[in-house]
Chains A and B, each alone.
Chain A
Amino acid sequence: MFNPEVAEIRFGTGLSPRVPAPQSVEALLDGLVGQDRIATRFPIEPFESFRHRITAFQAARRDERRAKSDDARTQATKAKKKANTAARKAYASMIRDTVLRRTHTDSGFRERLAFFWADHFTARGKSNIVRFATSPYIEEAIRPHIAGRFEDLLIAAVTHPLMLHYLDQAQSVGPNSRLGKRRERGLNENLAREVMELHTLGVDGPYTQADVRQLAELFAGLSLDQQGAFKFKTAHVEPGTETVLGKSYGRSGKLKDVHAVLRDLARHPATARHVATKLAQHFTTDVPDPDLIDKMTEAYRDSGGNLLNVYVALLNHPASWLPEMRNIKRPIDFIATSLRALDVDGTLLARSNQKQLLNLIVTPMQIMGQSWQAPNGPDGWPEENAFWITPQFMAARLAWALSAPQELRRVLPDPQDFAQTALGQNAPPEVAFAASAAENRWEGIALVLASPAFQKF
């Protein structure tokens, strides 16, 4: 059952020579409900503030287009560039702080869950500096809700401006709404479909095309104002009621109709199983123990989708504590756990410039198959080991393990000690041997980091 090292490796951000591993299941859970100290220490700006960068950029671009004189145009171009440069700089800070949270935290489970849910509710900007808004979205819509009720998380994510932008909801209009009739505009099904297929019921769930359509009608009011903030537009609302999974909604024509259907979708048994299965896959193995999924599903249903209860079921199941490491770390986990094990000087990383961050973290992650916050589609990153274990990706991890540690530490630790630090009691004898037999320090360190014992959790 519970073992502190397994807890830190499987549910946390990896072993550290500085931060002790959690000593009990309770400690793991406490890390989720207490104050979010690490977020205070390494703050990331919420979308509510980031969106002003977007509007400033767009305003400058509009001025540039409409400028009547050369002078005015030069002025606008300058303003646009300034907004762009500032946003890029902020983006680099967010990358840095996301990694620093992982290397310094004493509640790594929170970081892992924030990543898991951000991936479950993948949203991305599709143009100019909106592309840098993912971390602000996570900070605002995901992170505060990871240990609460799933329905609150669902509502926060699905109605968030970045999601409405990403899945084309902002322009969707009820065809018989005031605006729909006047402007001959209508629905876009994209968000409604992904909410049922990806966010709640799952693709095998009991919904039909008619449900997708009805949900899209219910969603019609979800939109953005001129400043890029959320706005429920009654002029977009489709009159009359809609039927989703046999239940009627939409009597009020207000945002509460949308909340009502999202809450019901969240409480649906198919959602309970879908969410439980994904969590079990993410933290244990590609094909999880059916009893683990059952127990987590029950916990979800019995608690009305209280995620903390689901985590309790996960952490109290023997299948979660098998000593064998079966999942491969994602590139973000691989890099961040490496930095943590290497005890990289936080101030060094904090001082890193954009180019260094690109060379040490962003580009290597891309070559390992995980472009920073840019999965291919709204389904996020694949869970299956088979996706990540390819010659290219393995070579990229090895190349990083050979080169990056030297960039990040003036003196590399002794490889034998490092094997102990990074792998704990679990260090396999062949890795300890390789670390001691390596010709030089950097190869010794690389062999530890490249070993399956380190790359899996």
Chain B
Amino acid sequence: MTSEISRRRFLGSAGVIGCSLAASPLLTPVSMASAPGENRLVVIILRGGMDGIDVLRPWGDLELAAHRPNLAVSHDNELHLTEFFGIHPGLKPLMPLWDRGELSFVQATSTPYRDKRSHFDGQDLLEAGTVDLAPLGRRDGWLNRMLPYLGGAQARTAFALGRENMLILTGQSPVSNWSPDVDLGMSSQGLRLLDLVMKSDPDMAASMTEAINLAGSDGDAVALDLNGGMVDQEDMMNTMAEDVSRARKGKTHLKIVDFAAERLKAETRIASFSIGGWDTHAAQNRTLNRPLKDLTESILRLRKKLGTVTWGKTTVLCMTEFGRTVRENGTKGTDHGTGGTMIVAGGAVRGGQIHGTWPGLEEADLYDRRDVMPTTDIRAWAAWAMRESFGMSKSALESNVFGGLDMGDGPKLLL
């Protein structure tokens, strides 16, 4: 007979894995790394291809309305940033940041990815930070490649939670993946035998060992010895299910932010996670609202949770794999394009700027006669943010972190 007491006993003695991290999100990737110094860099990957000119609207370009009879047409004075540019109403909650100088944008920017307009290759290239995609299995990410250049960076404390590997923080530097919401209980004899059976596969063995180590890292023992007493296995399963349902309730993106913020206030200096939902092929006036809400809420929550001092040392880069078509498509949405918009927020940011060059929207100005022509390489902006945040040398960034990048002149992204 199962009782609440046996369950508590089970949880206590089994050392519910990582219960000190119980508030962390389940099945959601967050990549992190520690580094010396006080500056923080947060990279938010906007998966699905954010429509740059619906988010940062070039109202001053007279072609815009002709390309988009249903999108981005209303001129609301409150949404004007400059004479030329306004923002999507969904970004309105960020207006106070713009006014305080904590928000900037980069117009018409993209990775070197061109022509095939595949989400999957586009995202991989964005996270890889290279010109071309390496073959599968040999890919690594630019945040990871930067770690060796940060004197004393603790790569071993870098970790990710989650469901998918974030390429951006994978590669040679040892980075692990972990979500702690799984409860385990096993006898010490069982754990020793587990070690033995896992040996034949080093990758699986390493992952299992890390799971067990992290389980013990909250101070409770992992091993479960109940003097031969029957373990309440049904409860273990129920606890797993409860963890999942708890993790699914409420706003997942805010849980990620809370988790990242807690870490950034401690030893973490670099964090990366993603927000999806940007693939607005149809009814964009409606479908773009949710991801924009998730994004603005995430930025505002991060600001609140970090507090004035830490936020003052923080730069947030919001990047997407590509922009979308300049013309709206036949279903009041947009299809995959090229040039896009990057959002830069944070107390460390030199705000109130719209960086980059506007390419124009006349047909001859467009990339492939359909997309916003990229006028800068998005990697250069990321590189400058890294240089200004962590003092990395330009040559290391240009040749080692981002293969074959020309950073150009300093745009002065940060204060």
Whether a CB of chain B sits under 8 angstroms from the CB of A451 is: yes
B137–A287 touching, CB < 8 Å: yes
Contact at B193–A399, with CB atoms within 8 Å?
Answer: no
* Partner pick for A209 among B120, B165, B197, B370, CB 8 A cutoff: B370
- Whether the pair A390, B178 counts as a contact (CB closer than 8 A) is yes
B29 → A minimal CB distance (Å): 10
Q: B77-91: contact bitstring with A at CB < 8 Å (1 yes, 0 no)? A: 000000000000000
Find out whether the CB atom of B27 lies under 8 angstroms from the CB atom of A173.
Answer: no
Contact present for B331 and A450 (CB under 8 Å):
no
For residue A170, give the distance in angstroms from its CB to the closest CB of chain B. Answer: 9
Q: Residue on A with the closest CB to B176?
A: A391
CB of A285, distance to nearest CB on chain B (Å): 11
Q: Are A376 and B331 in contact (CB under 8 A)?
A: no
Whole-angstrom distance between the alpha carbons of A433 and B200 in the complex?
14
Q: Is the CB of B177 within 8 A of A390?
A: yes
CB nearest neighbor in A for B214: A391
Q: How far is the CB of A137 from chain B (nearest CB, A)?
A: 20
Contact check, A394 vs B240: say whether CB atoms are below 8 A apart. Answer: no
Q: How far is the CB of B49 from chain A (nearest CB, A)?
A: 11
Interface string of A157-184 (1 = CB under 8 A from B): 0000000000010011101000010001
Q: How far is the CB of B170 from chain A (nearest CB, A)?
A: 8
B234 sits at the interface (CB 8 A): yes
* A187-B330, A358-B241, A359-B241 known; A455 vs B26 contact (CB < 8 Å): no
Contact among B69, B117, B231, B331 for A171, CB-based, below 8 A: B331
Q: Would you call B17 an interface residue if the criterion is a C-beta within 8 Å of the partner chain's C-beta atoms?
A: yes
Q: Given A189-B329, A390-B178, A394-B211, decide whether A377 and B233 contact each other with a Cβ distance below 8 A.
A: no
Residues of A within 8 A of B117 (CB): 193, 209, 212
A203 with B118, Cβ < 8 A, contacts A188-B333, A395-B182 known: yes
The yes or no answer to B210 lying at the interface (CB within 8 A) is yes
Is A294 among interface residues, defined by CB-CB distance under 8 A? no
B145 at the interface (CB under 8 A from A): no
| Contact yes or no, B115 A390, CB < 8 A | no
Quick check: A434 and B197 within 8 Å, CB to CB? Answer: yes
Given the contacts A188-B330, A439-B187, A453-B200, A392 and B182 also touching, CB distance less than 8 Å: yes
Contact of A359 among B211, B237, B336 (CB under 8 A): B237
Residues of A within 8 A of B244 (CB): 363, 366-367
- Indicate whether A235 reaches chain B with its CB closer than 8 angstroms: no
Does B198 make an interface contact (CB < 8 A)? yes
Asked if A379 contacts B120 (CB within 8 A), the reply is yes
Would you call A387 and B211 a contact (CB within 8 A)? no
Check if B194 sits within 8 Å of A398, measured CB to CB: yes
Instruction: Type the 1/0 row for A433-457, where 1 means its CB is closer than 8 Å to any CB of B.
Output: 1100111101100111011110110
Across the interface, do B282 and A188 meet the contact criterion of CB distance under 8 Å? yes
Interface string of A389-413 (1 = CB under 8 A from B): 1111111101110111011000000
Decide if A428 is an interface residue (CB 8 Å cutoff). yes
Separation of A407 and B184 alpha carbons in the complex (Å): 16
Is A398 in contact with B331, judged by CB distance below 8 angstroms?
Answer: no
A421 interfacial by beta-carbon distance below 8 Å: no
Q: How far is A171 from B287 in the complex, measured between Cα atoms in Å?
A: 15
- Are the CB atoms of B165 and A387 closer together than 8 Å? yes
Chain B residues 179 to 218 lying within 8 A of chain A, measured CB to CB, are 179-187, 189-190, 193-194, 196-201, 203-205, 207-208, 210-211, 214-215
Interface assignment of A386: CB less than 8 Å from any CB of chain B: yes
Which single residue of chain A is at the shortest CB-CB distance from B187?
Answer: A439
Return chain B residues, CB-CB under 8 Å to A393.
207
Q: Report which residue of A394, A402, A430 has the largest number of chain B beta carbons within 10 angstroms of its beta carbon.
A: A394
In the assembled complex, the Cα of A438 lies from the Cα of B26 at a distance in Å of 31
Stretch from B31-39, B156-164, B297-305 at the A interface: B156-164
A369–B236 contact, CB under 8 A?
no
Q: Encode contact with B along A140-168: 1 for CB under 8 Å, 0 otherwise.
A: 00000000000000000000000000001
Which residue of the partner chain, among A190, A197, A286, A430, contacts B197 with CB atoms under 8 Å?
Answer: A430
Q: Is A431 an interface residue (CB 8 A)?
A: yes
The smallest beta-carbon distance between B171 and chain A, in angstroms, is: 12
Question: What is the minimal beta-carbon distance from B323 to any residue of chain A, in angstroms?
Answer: 14
Chain A residues within an 8 Å CB radius of B185: 402
Q: Is B196 in contact with A434, judged by CB distance below 8 angstroms?
A: yes
* Chain B nearest Cβ from A280, distance in angstroms: 14
Q: Say yes or no: is A302 at the interface (Cβ < 8 Å to chain B).
A: no
Chain A residues whose C-beta falls within 8 Å of the C-beta of B313 in the assembled complex? none
Contact A452 B237 (CB under 8 A): no
Whether A442 and B231, one on each chain, are in contact in the complex, defined by CB atoms closer than 8 angstroms, is: yes
In chain B, positions 260-286 with a C-beta closer than 8 Å to chain A are: 276, 281-282
A186 on interface, CB distance cutoff 8 Å: yes
A417 CB-CB contact with B under 8 Å = no
Q: Which of B203, B204, B335 is A190 in contact with, Cβ under 8 Å? A: B335
Among B17, B198, B214, residue most surrounded by chain A Cβ atoms (within 10 Å): B198
Whether B363 sits at the interface, judged by CB under 8 Å, is: no
Are A185 and B330 closer than 8 Å at their CB atoms?
yes
6 shortest A-B CB distances, which residue pairs? A186-B330, A452-B201, A391-B211, A390-B177, A395-B211, A392-B179
Q: Can you add 20 more A-B contacts, CB < 8 Å, to A203-B118, A446-B190, A452-B200?
A: A168-B281, A168-B331, A168-B333, A185-B331, A209-B368, A209-B370, A212-B117, A360-B237, A363-B240, A364-B240, A367-B26, A391-B211, A392-B182, A394-B208, A398-B194, A398-B208, A402-B233, A403-B236, A448-B197, A450-B194
Task: Pick 18 A–B contacts, CB within 8 A, sort by A.
Answer: A171-B330, A172-B331, A190-B335, A359-B237, A360-B237, A367-B27, A377-B120, A384-B136, A384-B137, A390-B177, A391-B210, A391-B214, A392-B178, A430-B196, A446-B190, A447-B193, A448-B197, A452-B204
Show the binding face of A for B, using Cβ within 8 Å.
168, 171-173, 175, 180, 184-190, 193, 197, 203, 208-209, 212, 286-287, 328, 358-360, 363-364, 366-367, 369, 371, 376-377, 379, 382, 384-387, 389-396, 398-400, 402-404, 406-407, 428, 430-431, 433-434, 437-440, 442-443, 446-448, 450-453, 455-456
Q: CB within 8 Å of A: which residues of B?
A: 17, 26-27, 69, 115-121, 136-137, 161-165, 176-187, 189-190, 193-194, 196-201, 203-205, 207-208, 210-211, 214-215, 231, 233-234, 236-238, 240-241, 244, 276, 281-282, 329-331, 333, 335-336, 368, 370
